[in-house]
Structure formats: C-alpha cells, structure tokens
C-alpha cells in the first residue's frame, strides 16, 4: 500500500512555469515529483519500521507478559474500564454508504476539519464493543490483548491524520473516483475494505491517485474509517 505522496500531488497541481523553456520546466517538475515520490516511500517505510519496533517494545513490557495469561473476557473488561463510557451497539457518526464516507472525507480534508475527520474514525469504545470481540485477536494463534491491538491501530492513525492535515488540509479538490480491494475481509458482523485509493482533481482538471486513509469498516449498513494510516 505504498504509493506517491499527496504532497507530490499538490506540488504538481500548483506548479507554474516561472522561467525557461517548456522543456526545461517539464524536466524540473519531473525531477521534483521524483524526489517527492522517493520521500513518500521513505516515510512509509519508516512508519512500518516504527510500528514493528513499537510492537516489539510492547511485548517486552511486564504487563504484556502478565496479561497474556488472563482470559480474553478479563482482558476486554479491563480495556473497557480503562476506555470508559457506556456500551455501544452501533457505529456513531457513521455514513450510510462507502461512497458517502469517501465524499465526506474529501470535503473534510478540503476544509481542514479535524473534528469531522475524528468523528469519521473508529473510537476506542467502538473498537472494544464492536470490533475486537469479533476479530481473530480473541483466539489462538492470533490472540492479543485488546489494549495492544488498539494501540497498533490508533498510533499510526493519529500520526497519519496529523500528516494528512499538515500536507493536504485546506486544499480543496474534487473527488473523481476511488477504488478498494474487490474482496473485503469479514469478521463476524464487520466487513473490512482495505487498499483504498482515491483519485482527485484540482481546479484545472489535473488528476492524481493516492492512498489517503486506512481500512473502511462496514457494520449493519454504516461506514467509518478504522484509521488514517496513509502514504505520508
């Protein structure tokens, strides 16, 4: 899921010819795009390494070893207690379709609306009540404490959202199309759509395709983002 950075897209959309021949301007734009593409790959690779390192650190913590011998029900009870709030039975602030969710996302990024983007993503209580209990993480060989699983979701999502807003927030663009993997993953009542890429256009009609968010979760006809891990 590593592709060209949205920053490269914005540079390409806003670049104008300042001096020199059309040929030299094209060469300079191509060189800039190439540098930004390499930067995007390096950034994504660094995120992957960081997540692996964090997982390794988690596994060395005393709490990880102790909690791993507890029943899943007790691990989940403790996680819910730490998260707080009332039990939930459905996804809050969700969209009625996957298309509607993606359109809403593009508008929110164009408006740099962090509150709306946060509302569109899975929260800890939804994870505890709706997602984790129906995931492979509750059974061997994939069993993991819910708090650790949530951190592996939330940490890259939080950093991804910050980078998304820093690099693309307030830059209005038009949604042309998007595509996710044809076959979703099903976990109980949850349907997970991964590998989504969005094609956007600027006011001049130039387009580019990017991975701007992570997995989309569908539950009982309602849609949210699991998180905002992206190509930045």
Q: Model confidence over 130-178: pLDDT tens digits?
A: 999 999 999 999 999 999 999 999 999 999 999 999 999 998 899 999 9
Taken in order 158, 164, 170, 173, the sign of the CA dihedral is negative
**d(Cα 224, Cα 91) in Å, to the nearest integer?**
7
Greatest alpha-carbon span in the chain: 70
Give 47-100 pLDDT, tens digit per residue.
544 555 555 544 444 344 444 578 999 999 999 999 999 999 999 999 999 999
Are the CB atoms for 64 and 89 separated by under 8 Å? no
- Please give the share of the chain, as a percent, with pLDDT higher than 70: 71
pLDDT(42) > 60: no
pLDDT(45) > 90: no
Give 14-26 pLDDT, tens digit per residue.
333 333 333 344 4
Report, as an integer, the average pLDDT of 110-122: 97
Beta-carbon-side half-sphere exposure of residue 153 (alpha carbons within 13 Å): 23
List the structure tokens of 60: 């060395």
pTM, entire model: 0.71
For residue 68, what pLDDT is reported? Answer: 57
Q: Where are the domains of the chain?
A: 58-225
Average pLDDT, the chain: 80
Q: Is the peptide bond before 100 cis (omega within 30 degrees of 0)?
A: no
List the structure tokens of 198: 């969005």
Strand-strand pairing, 216-219 and 207-210: unpaired
């Amino acid at each position: 899921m590593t592709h060209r950075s949205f920053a490269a897209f914005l540079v390409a959309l806003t670049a104008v010819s300042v001096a020199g021949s059309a040929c030299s301007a094209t060469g300079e734009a191509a060189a800039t795009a190439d540098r930004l593409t390499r930067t995007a790959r390096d950034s994504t690779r660094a995120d992957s390494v960081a997540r692996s390192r964090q997982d390794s650190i988690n596994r060395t913590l005393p709490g990880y070893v102790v909690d791993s011998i507890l029943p899943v029900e007790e691990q989940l009870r403790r996680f819910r207690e730490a998260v707080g709030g009332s039990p939930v039975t459905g996804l809050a602030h969700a969209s009625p379709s996957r298309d509607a969710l993606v359109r809403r996302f593009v508008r929110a990024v164009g408006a740099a609306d962090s509150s709306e983007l946060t509302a569109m993503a899975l929260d800890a209580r939804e994870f505890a009540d709706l997602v984790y209990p129906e995931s492979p993480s509750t059974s061997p060989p994939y069993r993991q404490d819910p708090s650790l699983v949530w951190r592996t979701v939330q940490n890259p999502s939080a950093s991804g959202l910050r980078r998304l807003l820093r690099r693309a927030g307030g830059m209005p663009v038009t949604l042309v199309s998007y595509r996710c993997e044809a076959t979703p993953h099903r976990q109980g009542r949850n349907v997970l759509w991964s590998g989504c890429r969005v094609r956007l256009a600027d006011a001049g009609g130039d387009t580019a395709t990017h991975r701007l968010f992570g997995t989309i979760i569908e539950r009982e006809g309602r849609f949210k983002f699991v998180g905002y891990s992206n190509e930045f």
